[in-house]
């Protein structure tokens, strides 16, 4: 290989960005009553406001179209959050581009960028759930092609120049301008990647950074994809014109409480409920607490006291060379009050400790 035009290797440091993600899981109140979707959405806004006040870098909202999650229109909820916050960046986790229209997605997030004074970003994905495909009239047989075509169009929209494009699943465009334009000249975007070589290379080809969704197993098993991400940046640089390395992020779930034991005890029944509900659809075995404990110790469930979670995040950031880590703080029907405490501990104790460890 010829000498690289730049060094794509990333070393995690104290300037790492630390965010929070939620899908708006349908929760229960402290009285055990299942809360309505409207109540959960208002809770999510309150959680984001707290995160902003405490200095969290990013809040990401996932898009789903099923009865166990309240958020189907993340951009609308993010706009509400924008009006009550001043600094936190506003993103998704993820936006299901495959079953949406790229032009409309771009317009909505460019609008969010305007009302939030440049704080909008979008993570684009094909969706781990498939309810949106029949809901919006798409054939699951076109799952791969839909994402490839729509991502290609979205990447062109990011240039904010007139777009000429054609494909099988959308009306062609000829020198089409799309509005509004962003004040910075480019909307911040990521591609959510579950772990396939093709997805890694696609991220580099379109010059949209990669956000790895790691929800089980040792994070180190994704080293092969990080290595590919770096090699592809070097090899494709003559074609893409890339002169600076792309950021790299990870999204993983967990729960923080005052002690390790308390965190596991609070998290376990909600983790089990979520895992077994989805598992019945996908053929997974029932959850066991032993497996959760193993995941909390060395896998991709960041469950424990602030010190435990901080050390685990720092280890993952170091192993993979991250510039960003997003902590999915809500999993299953856990009460809003416990989520608020988890956010408080993440912002006031985990984040500074992660940066201290990486700075050392």
pLDDT in tens, 300-313: 999 999 999 999 99
The model's pTM: 0.95
C-alpha–C-alpha distance, residues 269 and 191, integer Å:
31
pLDDT, tens only, 165-196: 999 989 999 999 999 999 999 999 999 998 88
User: C-alpha distances in angstroms, 5 versus 114, 150, 241, 247?
Assistant: 35, 30, 10, 17
> In the structure encoding, which two tokens stand for residue 197, read together?
């070589």
CB 157 within 8 A of CB 128: no
Asked whether the predicted pLDDT for residue 295 surpasses 60, the reply is: yes
pLDDT, average across residues 328-345: 96
C-alpha–C-alpha distance, residues 264 and 182, integer Å:
43
Asked whether the predicted pLDDT for residue 1 surpasses 80, the reply is: no
Asked whether the predicted pLDDT for residue 96 surpasses 90, the reply is: yes
C-alpha–C-alpha distance, residues 200 and 212, integer Å:
9
């Amino acid at each position: 290989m010829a000498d690289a035009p730049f060094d794509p290797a990333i070393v995690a440091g104290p300037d790492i960005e630390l965010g929070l993600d939620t899908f708006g899981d349908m929760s229960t109140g402290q009285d055990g009553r299942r809360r309505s979707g409207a109540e959960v959405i208002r809770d999510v806004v309150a959680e984001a406001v707290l995160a902003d006040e405490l200095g969290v870098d990013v809040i990401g909202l996932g898009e789903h179209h099923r009865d166990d999650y309240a958020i189907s229109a993340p951009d609308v909820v993010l706009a509400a959050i924008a009006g009550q916050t001043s600094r936190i960046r506003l993103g998704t986790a993820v936006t299901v581009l495959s079953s949406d229209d790229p032009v409309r997605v771009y317009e909505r997030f460019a609008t969010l960028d305007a009302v939030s004074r440049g704080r909008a970003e979008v993570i684009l994905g094909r969706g781990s759930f498939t309810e949106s495909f029949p809901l919006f009239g798409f054939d699951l047989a076109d799952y791969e092609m839909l994402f490839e075509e729509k991502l290609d169009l979205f990447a062109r929209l990011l240039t904010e120049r007139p777009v000429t494009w054609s494909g099988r699943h959308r009306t062609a465009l000829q020198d089409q301008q799309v509005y509004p334009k962003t004040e910075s000249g480019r909307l911040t975007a990521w591609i959510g990647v579950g772990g396939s070589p093709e997805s890694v290379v696609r991220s580099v080809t379109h010059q949209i950074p990669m956000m790895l969704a790691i929800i089980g197993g040792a994070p180190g098993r994704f080293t092969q994809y990080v290595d590919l991400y770096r090699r592809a940046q070097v090899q494709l640089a003559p074609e893409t014109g890339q002169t600076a390395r792309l950021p790299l992020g990870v999204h993983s779930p967990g729960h923080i409480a005052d002690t390790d034991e308390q965190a596991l005890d609070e998290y376990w029944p909600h983790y089990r409920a979520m895992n077994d509900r989805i598992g019945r659809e996908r053929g997974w075995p029932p959850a066991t607490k032993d497996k959760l404990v193993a995941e909390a110790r060395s896998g991709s469930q960041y469950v424990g006291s602030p010190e435990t979670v901080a050390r685990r995040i720092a280890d993952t950031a170091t192993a993979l060379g991250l510039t960003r880590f997003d902590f999915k703080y809500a999993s299953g029907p856990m009460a809003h009050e416990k989520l608020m405490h988890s956010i408080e501990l993440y912002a006031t104790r985990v984040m500074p400790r992660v940066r201290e460890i990486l700075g050392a």
